[in-house]
Amino acid sequence: MNAYIFPGQGAQFVGMGLDLYENHTIAQELFESANDILGFRITDIMFEGSPEDLKETKVTQPAIFLHSVILSKVMGDNFKPDMVAGHSLGEFSALVANGVLNFEDGLKLVSKRALAMQKACELKPGTMAAVLNLPDDVVERICDETPGIVVAANYNCPGQLVISGEVEAITLACENMKEAGARRALVLPVGGAFHSPLMEPAREELAAAIENTSFAIPNCPIYQNVSTKAVVNSEEIKENLIAQLTAPVKWTQSVQNMVNDGAKLFTEVGPGKVLQGLVRKINSEAETTSVILA
């Protein structure tokens, strides 16, 4: 069975999508439509902007979404998923590719999400840190025992868990992780505490937008970050999408469930190859590939 997976924030690079724009009419039309919807020429930043401009959350999230979704559209009849999943932001890309959201609604929600998250970051400063080679239950226990807000945020693969929360709490938790035997506990260069309670203002703002958006029945099951299991009910998809901003990204568990349900080949749709690497660490027998256009 074929699983298509969609990357999240951090996969961006200057020049992303330019080959699609130059070589495929449908891509050019969708990119220009995106410029109109967003009210600025995101293509200029994606194709030839500075890495700093591309790193801004309000640009990064729509940029990665556009690259992934337009790539799936360019694939045409070759895009035949039996199941889909996306890492954090990538879940929105997966939902458009899977027929749950139309292109315009998906882009509007991603833009709203990015702006709401940026606002939440400014309201309540926070950060994230990667913890390597420490069992999940030990990381969770240290988070629970650390004063302040600090939670497990991204279960990326066995031995790689990202924590999120208040700056002081993250700093202290990192020290405790190292004492407990972590190979590394490294604060990440991110703008805020994503997938933590500090994102509650953003969750509330995004919830209103999601509730007012039409969600169709998916073409195939989606394995969402919050539930980790196959979902086909539109209302359940909405609930999970709203919960995602303050809940952890359970990528390890999602991939394990996809493999258990028959996934043999994981195709990454979008910039980079980060998810392919994570999938192989989660299940060494799983095959992975990128989209190859004729």
Listed in sequence order, the residues at least 6 apart from 107 whose beta carbon sits closer than 8 Å to its beta carbon are: 34, 37, 38, 62, 65, 66
CB 89 within 8 A of CB 65: yes
Q: Is 87 assigned a catalytic role?
A: no
88 is catalytic: yes
Query: Of 67, 111, 195, 227, which one is the catalytic site residue?
Result: 195
CA distance 107 to 290: 23
User: Residue 165 in 3-state DSSP?
Assistant: strand
Q: Is the dihedral of CA 186, 192, 193, 194 positive or negative?
A: negative
| Best CA proximity match to 92, nearest among 21, 202, 209, 6 | 6
Distance CA 68, CA 64 (A): 6
Per 3-state DSSP, the chain is made up of helix, strand and coil in percentages (nearest 5) of: 50, 15, 35
CB 34 within 8 A of CB 42: yes
Cα(51)–Cα(56) distance, integer angstroms: 9
Start-to-end C-alpha separation, the chain = 22
User: Alpha-carbon distance 22 to 87, whole Å?
Assistant: 28
Backbone φ and ψ for 289, nearest 5 degrees, come out as -160, 165
270 with 68: CB under 8 angstroms?
yes
Catalytic residue among 88, 93, 111, 227: 88
Q: So which residues are the catalytic ones?
A: 88, 195
